[in-house]
């Protein structure tokens, strides 16, 4: 892979992380679910052992949650491109809900390039402190 292609893939995957946070905070669930591959898997930071598999199930999981106001802050994003069609990455996450103390955690992501561009193959959240 050429350096410019690697940098483009890194930027696309990093943008996916930021877009996910923004859409999540805006409760735009259909668009959040569309950031996953059709068979993607989501592990919420609050339920790290309970994977939700597939876009439809991910969408249903988001729609089932109680309404709340949130602000996700993601940083320390590092993307490693493995091939033309796969990458993985990590990021730090700070979640403000306005109802409780902030949650601090991280995401470990696997990305796959699809016909629609880069998508999450797996998004695994974890909490470090609450």
Read off the CATH number of the domain in which 46 is found. Answer: 3.10.450.50
Cβ neighbours of residue 47 closer than 8 Å, sequence gap 6 or more: none
- Contact between 121 and 111 under an 8 Å Cβ cutoff? The reply is yes
**pLDDT value at 100 more than 90:** no
How many folded domains does the chain comprise? 1
Q: Which token pair is 55?
A: 């876009």
Structure tokens at 108: 């470990």
pLDDT of residue 46: 85
Beta strands in 7-85 (DSSP E): 36-43, 52-53, 71-81
Expressed as residue numbers, the domain containing 27 is: 3-129
Query: How sure is the predictor about 116, in pLDDT bands with cuts at 50, 70 and 90?
Result: very high
pLDDT tens-digit map of 45-59: 888 899 999 999 999
pLDDT for 27: 96
Reported as type and span, the H/E element at residue 31 is helix 29-33
Determine how β-strand 36-43 pairs with β-strand 117-129: parallel
pLDDT score recorded for residue 130? 63
pTM attached to this predicted model: 0.94
Structure tokens at 75: 């940083």
Determine the 3-state secondary structure of 11 from DSSP. Answer: helix
């Amino acid at each position: 892979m050429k350096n410019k292609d690697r940098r483009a893939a890194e930027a696309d995957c990093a943008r996916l992380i930021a877009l996910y946070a923004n859409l999540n905070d805006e409760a735009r669930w259909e668009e959040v679910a569309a950031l996953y591959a059709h068979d993607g898997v989501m592990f919420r930071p609050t339920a790290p052992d309970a994977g939700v598999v597939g876009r439809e199930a991910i969408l249903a999981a988001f729609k089932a949650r109680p309404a709340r106001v949130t602000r996700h802050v993601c940083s320390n994003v590092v993307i490693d491109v493995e091939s033309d069609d796969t990458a993985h990455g990590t990021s730090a996450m700070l979640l403000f809900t306005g109802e409780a103390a902030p949650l601090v955690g991280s995401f470990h992501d696997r990305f796959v390039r699809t016909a629609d561009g880069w998508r999450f193959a797996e998004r695994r959240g974890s909490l470090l402190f609450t």
